[in-house]
Structure 1
Amino acid sequence: MRAGSPRLLREINDRAAIEALLRNGPLTRAELEGIIGLSKPATAQLLTRLEESDTVLRNGLRGGGRGPRAQLWSVNGALAHVAAVDLTPDHVDVAIADISGALLTEHSAPMPKAAKSDVLEAFHGAVSKAAGQAGLTPEALHHVVVGSPGAVDPATGKLAYAPHMPGWGGFDLLDELHGLLGTTVTVENDVNLVAVEEMIAGRATEVRDFVLIWPADAVGAAVVVNGVLLRGATGGAGEIDGLQIPDRAVAETGTDRTGGTFGELLDNGALVRLARAHGVAARTGEAAVRKALSSGPAGREFLVDLARRIATGVAGVISVLDPELVLLSGDVAQAGGTTLVDLVSAEIRHLVVPRTPVQLALVTGKPVRSGALHTALSVAREQVFGLPAATTEPFRGPHHGNAAVLAPTTRR
């Protein structure tokens, strides 16, 4: 065996053990041995080596009754910490976790609709407050991932496709956040992060090519090809809010039948007007969709018209990409549930040749922040442990060093 090979094998085995502990949680020596396929002495030596380097810790005992109790081992979460941020025009939602994935704290705060200095101050205050709750400072965070509407242009670092984000445009966002927080930062499009979460814990775990659509204010899409997020030359892949489409809804709501933007046909006001045209009164589009489910024939016709609008825009995406799966996500889609999904699927079949399945996204709650957390952990684990990053890892901008530039699609 050539020189250096034993060391290389040890490093490979160490990484395999760390990955198994991160994936499965605390394990006994025998359990770890079974997962990574080493002998009992080799696994014991591996654990001793990792414990001496502070990479793993003893974490209680497993077993009981009449038999012996076995020592549990886990990754030392204190080796690094990350932050995940869901940024919208109205609020910022921050989560801090250690490198094992354990959530340490959460903090939400309102965001002002103001100038650059005001929004950056509010953002810094929110991240600092969350970090402080975990006993950290922003500078002590290994990596921060921010999920935001719009797209960051990898050539300039500027946020685009987000006119509803006052104060956040016109400057190199990555450089500003890096300097503000004192650590490396990724800015990823929010709908992309929802797609990441669907690949990890949702309906896209078994597919390689899919599109996730967010039919709401504003319409966004995430495109995944061969398991990798497609971002485009300027970060704008999936920015379908401005796509020009005809209004195929039957009810008359004053729209231009010859064409309008996808976003104009599916924004909150448009959905409220469409519902009212069918006799369904509600203050928001989401409320209108929920109400329609129990409003008899009138509600059904509203949902059919809504499905026509959604399907008209989605059909173009399907025709170009021919994905394995289309997922509908967001509050409006979740409100309509399988009824709306089935109606959209039926309409799509009238418009395109591919018989692409349409399903409701599985991940709910805080999918943007969850996707940001998984992305941040992937970056930290690659840098700290040498573990391979997920195929959805962010694009690293040429003039941002370790700060990552990402984006497509928009969500309000």
Structure 2
Amino acid sequence: MRAGSPRLLREINDRAAIEALLRNGPLTRAELEGIIGLSKPATAQLLTRLEEDGTVLRTGLRGGGRGPRAQLWTVNGALAHVAAVDLTPDSIDIAIADISGATLTEHRAPMPKTGVLEAFHSAVTKATTQAGLTTDVLNHVVVGSPGAVDPATGLLNYAPHMPGWENKNIPEELEALLTTSVTVENDVNLVALEEMIAGRAQGVKDFVLLWPADAVGAAVVVNGVLIRGATGGAGEIDAMQVPDHAHADTGTQRTGSRYGDLMASPAIARLARMHGVSARTGQDAVAKALSEGPAGREFLVDLARRVATCAANVISVLDPGLVLLSGDIAQAGGTTLADLVAAELRHLVVPRTPVRLALVTGKPVRSGALHSALSVVREEVFGLPAATTEPFRGPQQGAASSSAP
């Protein structure tokens, strides 16, 4: 055996133990032993070694049964901290977490139309203060935003609805504000990442995630890798010109309209009214249609025609193994809308691609940002391998990897 091999084996075993603790939460020595496959003495030595260097901590006891309670071990969360941010034209939604993945605090603040950098800095500062930290101890920040950052310039493209953020090298300026490394990632890309980690895309190598709502977007994953394109604009389908295949005439350009205009909330509500379903927003219209009988069904079929018209273009080029529908409109329509989109696609494309409702709900953008940030710091601190999604971190730094916790 080569000199140095025992040390290498210890490092491999240490990483396996850390990864098991991060994935499963607090474990007893016996539980950890079963997961990583070491002997009882070797596992005990490993835990002692990791405790002495501050990597793991004792955290209570596990009871139950007639025997003595067993010591629990966990990763020392204080080793690093991250911030995950969901940035929209109207708000900034922040979560602060430690390296174990434990969320320390959440904070949401309005996003003004001017002074956006100052508002961003103020919101992140308040969130870190709530967590008992300061921004200079954040090891990494991931920001999910509409549009896409051009890797050559750092400018936010494809996002005219984000006033105040234009003509800025956003990663560079945010890093200067927070004095830490910052990843800026497209919001829908982060949702796709979250579906790969905790949703319906687990184990799916090729899929497309569509966000058919205001500021329509898509994420494309090929062979397990998120595709961004030369300027970061892969999946920016909002401006794609598509015909309106809805049977009800709502005054659109029937031969070709901007897809985002067809899928905006007012446009969906207008289409619903043409079918006798009255609602204030597109989301309300879709939810109401599910209980409106034939009129509601006709509206949902027409809406599915609009969704499918754009999806067909993507499917014809990529032939993915799965199409996921995400966002408020998709969740409001549920499996009914997904099934109707699949039925419409059978008239438009040869591949019989399954269409499913995305599984991750709640705050999928922020959740994806959190997993991405944790992946970066876990690679830096523990040497754990990261996935190949590589979110953009700014021209001066190159790409950083992201993965599940």
**TM-score, length-normalised on structure 1?**
0.96
SS of the aligned residue for 1:376 comes to helix
- Structure 2 residue aligned with 1:39: 39
Q: Which amino acid aligns with 1:145?
A: V
* Alignment check: 8 A CA contact 1:96 1:134 kept: yes
> Within 2, Cα distance between the matches of 1:9 and 1:346?
54
> Within 2, Cα distance between the matches of 1:333 and 1:280?
18
CA 1:291 to 1:305, structure 2 compared with 1: closer, same or farther past 3 Å?
same
SS of the aligned residue for 1:144 comes to strand
> Within 1, Cα distance between the matches of 2:64 and 2:196?
37
Q: CA offset at residue 63 of structure 1?
A: 2.5
Alignment of 1:231-380 (within 5 A): 231-380=228-377
Q: CA offset at residue 390 of structure 1?
A: 2.0
Alignment of 1:79-228 (within 5 A): 79-114=79-114, 118-228=115-225
**What is the identity percentage for the equivalent residue pairs of Structure 1 and Structure 2?**
80
Q: Which amino acid aligns with 2:221?
A: V
- Structure 2 residue aligned with 1:75: 75
Q: Which amino acid aligns with 1:278?
A: H
- Alignment equivalent of 1:400, drawn from 396, 399, 404: 396
Q: Which amino acid aligns with 1:210?
A: F
In the alignment, structure 1 segments of 5+ residues that lack a partner are 407-412
* Alignment check: 8 A CA contact 1:18 1:75 kept: yes
* Alignment check: 8 A CA contact 1:265 1:271 kept: yes
> Within 2, Cα distance between the matches of 1:391 and 1:37?
27
* Alignment check: 8 A CA contact 2:283 2:332 kept: yes
Aligned length: 402
Q: CA offset at residue 392 of structure 1?
A: 2.1
Confirm or deny that 1:66 pairs with 2:63: no
- Structure 2 residue aligned with 1:409: none
CA 1:70 to 1:404, structure 2 compared with 1: closer, same or farther past 3 Å?
closer
RMSD of aligned residue pairs (Cα, Å) = 1.3
CA 1:2 to 1:303, structure 2 compared with 1: closer, same or farther past 3 Å?
same
In the alignment, structure 2 segments of 5+ residues that lack a partner are none
**TM-score, length-normalised on structure 2?**
0.97
* Alignment check: 8 A CA contact 1:211 1:224 kept: yes
Choose 22-31 or 59-68, whichever is displaced more.
59-68
The structure whose RCO (Cα within 8 Å, separation 6+) is larger is 1
* Alignment check: 8 A CA contact 2:181 2:393 kept: no
* Alignment check: 8 A CA contact 2:376 2:401 kept: no
Q: CA offset at residue 333 of structure 1?
A: 0.6
Q: CA offset at residue 7 of structure 1?
A: 1.0
The superposition leaves residues 331-377 of structure 1 with CA deviations (integer Å, 9 ceiling, x where unpaired) of: 00111111111111100000000000000001100000000000000
* Alignment check: 8 A CA contact 2:84 2:370 kept: yes
* Alignment check: 8 A CA contact 1:285 1:332 kept: yes
Choose 221-230 or 63-72, whichever is displaced more.
63-72
Q: Which amino acid aligns with 1:343?
A: L
Q: CA offset at residue 404 of structure 1?
A: 5.6
> Within 2, Cα distance between the matches of 1:374 and 1:275?
37
* Alignment check: 8 A CA contact 2:86 2:93 kept: yes
Q: Detail structure 1 runs of 4+ shifted over 4 Å in the superposition.
A: 402-406
Q: CA offset at residue 396 of structure 1?
A: 4.7
